[in-house]
């Protein structure tokens, strides 16, 4: 039986990318394949700039879930009551993108280490549209409704199509032109956070102005002080 290790589950607004401002339940899975999450391992990690705590299961709404149904119900409990839509199933051919549709963002860590067909089915059965935020090193299973891929310089990217590509910028070895031939609807540059956030933001703005295929993505949830 599959056990899902989840760091936290919470309801907020999507803060980044094409769906900024959309209400969503975030389901943050524990574990990543590019960094252990422990500070003493950061310098040797494939991805060294991650600013997310995905270690353990002790965050708000986190825990170990021993089957897909229990985790999906836990996610559903975070959605405001009375907002369950009627109409076509989210996994159907004419997936609704209208305001009010239940929306879950599966993130991490790397969610595709754990997100599997039984959980996708269980979330769809509870009327959720399912998005993922992935580093692109693991193939996306059928049934994911919105794919956001954030490539990393020192990792092999095998996810080459989806809905949005969100590149943390700048990354030596992960220049935007390396990815712009991939089949994504949206291309975003997101300034790397840290001690040089202001400089990185200016560089991202400059690049987007010079290369209009790319758009700027800011971490608006941090600006607003929400999860």
Give pLDDT, residue 95.
44
Domain count, the chain: 1
Q: What is the DSSP string of 86-150?
A: -SS-TTSTT---STT-EEEEEESS-GGGT--HHHHHHHHHTTEEEEEEE-SSSPPPTT-SEEEE-
- Sorted by sequence, the CB contacts under 8 Å of residue 10 that are 6+ apart come out as 25, 26, 60, 61, 78, 227
List the catalytic residues: 26, 32, 47, 50-52, 133, 221
Q: Which helix (H) or strand (E) holds 189?
A: strand 183-191
| pLDDT computed for residue 2 by the predictor | 85
Number of H helices, E strands in the chain: 4, 9
Q: Which residues pair with 161 in a beta bridge?
A: 183
d(CA 186, CA 188): 7
* Apex 104 CA angle, 101 and 105, nearest 5: 135
* 10-residue stretch averages of pLDDT, the chain, 227 residues long: 93 97 98 96 94 96 98 97 53 47 97 98 98 98 98 97 98 96 98 95 98 97 94
CA distance 122 to 124: 5
Amino acid 31: pLDDT: 97
pLDDT at 73: 98
Domain of 188? 4-224
Cβ proximity of 112 and 126 under 8 Å: no
CATH of the domain at 151: 3.20.20.70
Which of 10, 206, 176 is CA-nearest to residue 105?
10
Whole-angstrom CA distances from 157 to 33, 137, 138, 160, 202 are 13, 5, 8, 7, 27
């Amino acid at each position: 039986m599959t056990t899902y290790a989840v760091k936290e589950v919470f309801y907020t607004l999507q803060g980044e990318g094409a769906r900024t401002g959309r209400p969503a339940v975030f389901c943050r899975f524990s574990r990543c394949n590019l960094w252990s999450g422990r500070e003493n391992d950061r310098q040797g990690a494939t991805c060294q700039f991650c600013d997310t705590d995905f270690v353990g299961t002790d965050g708000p709404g986190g825990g170990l879930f021993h089957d897909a149904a229990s985790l999906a119900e836990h996610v559903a409990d975070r959605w405001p009551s009375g907002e369950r839509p009627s109409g076509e199933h989210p996994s159907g051919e004419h997936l609704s993108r209208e305001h009010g549709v239940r929306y879950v963002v599966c993130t991490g860590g790397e969610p595709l280490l754990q997100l599997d067909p039984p959980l996708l089915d269980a979330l769809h059965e509870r009327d959720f549209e399912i998005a993922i935020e992935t580093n692109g090193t693991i193939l996306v299973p059928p049934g994911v409704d919105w794919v956001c891929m954030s490539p990393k310089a020192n990792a092999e990217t095998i996810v080459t199509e989806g809905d949005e590509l969100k590149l943390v910028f700048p990354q030596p070895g992960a220049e935007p032109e390396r990815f712009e031939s991939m089949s994504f609807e949206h291309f975003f540059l997101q300034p790397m956070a840290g001690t040089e956030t202001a400089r990185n933001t200016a560089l991202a703005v400059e690049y987007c102005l010079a290369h209009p295929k790319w758009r700027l993505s800011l971490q608006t949830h941090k600006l607003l002080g929400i999860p």
